[in-house]
Structure 1
Amino acid sequence: MDFCAIDFETATHEKSSACEMGICVVQDSKIVETKTWLIKPPSFPYFSRFNIGVHGITPEDVKDAPTFDEIWYEAEEMMYGTLMIAHNASFDAGVLRGCFEHYGMFTPKLNYLCSIQLAKKSWNYLPKYGLKHLAEHHQISLNHHRAGDDAEACAKISLLAFEKLIITENEEIHDSFLNKYIKKL
């Protein structure tokens, strides 16, 4: 399996307000790299108190950070040609689209899959499918609501799910029942 897991934290309710992005790269079913970027959002210096309460990232933390358009090219290189997976993927895909729109950037053709859907197909007996609950269930350490940690936990959960579903190559996703869950950015 080759894919990247992605996670965003946001400064406000606005989709373009990414203040942290994490990407975990998986090649041949092994995690090869995890990277996290703090991002100065367009709303800077304004951050919602609610959002700070969730992730703990403050305006002070990002005052010298680059903006999304300054870091995307490095991130895109890490993701090139791979499937993108996120936990609650509609949120993260929405943030990615919101950032592209805000900065007037070209939206790349990316396919993405939600790890919640993978988890529900793999472990249909669990009472909850949140990232924290799944990490605890699989004994994966997690510093929840920090983008790099969340992306890496998503990657580990996805690898376990693919193993349980006996999916060993990306092509098998398209040939299986999971194909209906793949979305385009």
Structure 2
Amino acid sequence: MHGLNFTAIDFETANSKRGSVCAVGLARVMDGVVVESASWLIRPPRSVGEFSPINVAVHGIRPADVRTAPGWTESLRRIMDFTGEDPFVAHNAPFDRSVLRSACAESGVAVPENPFHCSVALARRLLGLEVNKLPHVAKALGLGAFRHHDAGSDAEMCAAAVVAIARRYALHSLDALWPAAGATSVGRTRVSGRRL
């Protein structure tokens, strides 16, 4: 799948405020193969850094876990060093894109201009599932179990799901997977605050 290049990204947040990023997972795909992955904890911006019990119950990350973790500015630099100019793909891209933008706003840094594509939208369009949460998509594609709401595991599974869909339907480029400027529509899509 020459030319199928992107970085899958997943964020976890400390609370319901989108800027409260506390973990990131990345999986880089080149020519349809996951070639590198990374994940780490992030100390949320101080203004939105309180951990909600609901969020802790979902991802298991606690305040003590991020006490010595890098802050958002350093983490964004590491994300961009990893990603370069690759497009991002996320499972529920409107959520992850808003986390990226809000964390940048809270920290007073510029928002990267990499386009975002949504693997939920891709699954809805092509797989015909009743539920398009990542575990359901992974099961439907025969990809096996993973640690849902672990940012690194989610990013790797998102990447694997997109590659599997690309192979199944012979859609070997981002333009084929998301036709008609699908990346630009993400910024205008309204979704609830619930994670998929």
- Same fold judged by TM-score > 0.5? yes
Tell me the residue number matched to 1:162.
Answer: 166
1:101 Cα deviation (Å)?
0.7
Q: Tell me the equivalent position of 2:111.
A: 107
Q: For the residues of structure 1 that align with 2:63 and 2:104, how far apart are their CA atoms?
A: 22
Residue equivalent to 1:79: 83
Calculate the TM-score normalised by the size of structure 1.
0.91
Contact 1:9–1:55, Cα closer than 8 Å, also in 2 = yes
Within a 5 Å distance, the mapping from 1:30-41 to structure 2 comes to: 30-41=33-44
What's the counterpart of residue 12 of structure 2? 9
- Find the residue that maps to 2:18 and give its secondary structure: coil
CA distance in 1, matches of 2:55, 2:95: 14
Is the CA contact 2:11–2:96 (under 8 Å) kept in the aligned structure 1?
yes
Q: Which amino acid aligns with 2:22?
A: C
> Deviation of residue 135 (structure 1)?
1.7
Structure 2 residue 69 is the aligned partner of structure 1 residue 65 = yes
- Return 5+ residue gaps in structure 1 as ranges: none
- Which 4+ stretches in 1 moved above 4 angstroms? none
- 2:183 maps to 182
Secondary structure in 2 matching 1:73: helix
* TM-score, structure 2 as length reference: 0.86
Partner SS for 2:179: helix
Q: Percent identity?
A: 34
Give the direction of change, closer, same or farther, for the CA distance of 1:84–1:45 in structure 2 (3 Å limit).
closer
Q: Which amino acid aligns with 2:30?
A: Q
- Letter of the structure 1 residue corresponding to residue 171 of structure 2: I
Number of equivalent positions = 181
Kept in 1: contact 2:41–2:66 (CA 8 A)? yes
Provide the alpha-carbon RMSD of the alignment. Answer: 1.7
What is the CA deviation profile of residues 76-133 of structure 1, one whole-angstrom value per residue up to 9, with x for unaligned ones? 0221121110001100000000011111111121111110111122212x22100011
Tell me the SS of whatever aligns to 1:182.
helix
Between 47-56 and 136-145, the greater mean CA deviation after superposition? 136-145
Q: Which residue of 1 aligns with 2:52?
A: 48
Classify 1:168/1:45 alpha carbon distance in 2 versus 1 (closer, same or farther; 3 Å): closer
